[in-house]
Amino acid sequence: METKIKSRAFQQFSEAAETLVNPVLQSWKDQGGKVVGYFCSTVPEEMVTAAGMVPFRMRATGSTSTEESDAFYSSINCSFPRHCFNLALIGEFKFLDGVICVNSCDHVRRIYDNWIRFVPTDFAGVMSLPRKTGPDQVGWYRDELAMLKEKIEKHFGVEISDDMLWKAIKLHNETRRLQKALYELRKQDKPPITGAETLAVMVAGTAMPKEQYNEMLRELLDELSGSEGPGTHRARLMIVGGILDDPAYVKVIEDQGGLVVTDSTCFGTRIMWVEVDESLSDPIAALAQYYVADRPSCPRMYGEHDNRAKYVIDMCREFNCDGIIGERMMFCDLWLVEHYMLNQDVRADGIPFLKLDREYLTSAIGQLRTRVQAFLETMGR
| pLDDT tens column, 21-66 | 999 999 999 999 999 999 999 999 999 999 999 999 999 999 999 9
The CATH-assigned architecture of domain 21-160 is 3-Layer(aba) Sandwich (3.40)
Q: Is 241 helix (H, G, I), strand (E, B) or coil?
A: strand
What is the amino acid identity at position 37? G
pTM assigned to the model: 0.96
- Rounded to the nearest integer, the mean pLDDT of the chain is 95
Q: Is 86 helix (H, G, I), strand (E, B) or coil?
A: helix
Helices in 186-304 by DSSP H: which ranges?
A: 195-204, 210-224, 247-255, 283-289
What pLDDT score was predicted for residue 381?
61
Q: Give CA separation, 140 vs 5, 60, 109, 367, in Å.
A: 45, 31, 18, 44
Asked if the model's pLDDT at residue 259 lies above 80, the reply is yes
Using the CB atoms, write b or e for 91-118: b if 16+ within 10 Å.
Answer: ebbebbbbbbbbbbbebbbbbbebbeee
Residue 342 bridge partners (DSSP): none
Instruction: Check residue 117 and give left, alpha or beta (phi > 0: left; psi -120 to 50: alpha).
Output: alpha
User: Residue 87 pLDDT more than 70?
Assistant: yes
User: Residue 183 half-sphere exposure, CB side, CA atoms within 13 Å?
Assistant: 24
75: confidence class by pLDDT, cuts 50, 70, 90 = confident
**How is residue 205 annotated by DSSP?**
T
pLDDT bin (cut points 50, 70, 90) of residue 2 is low
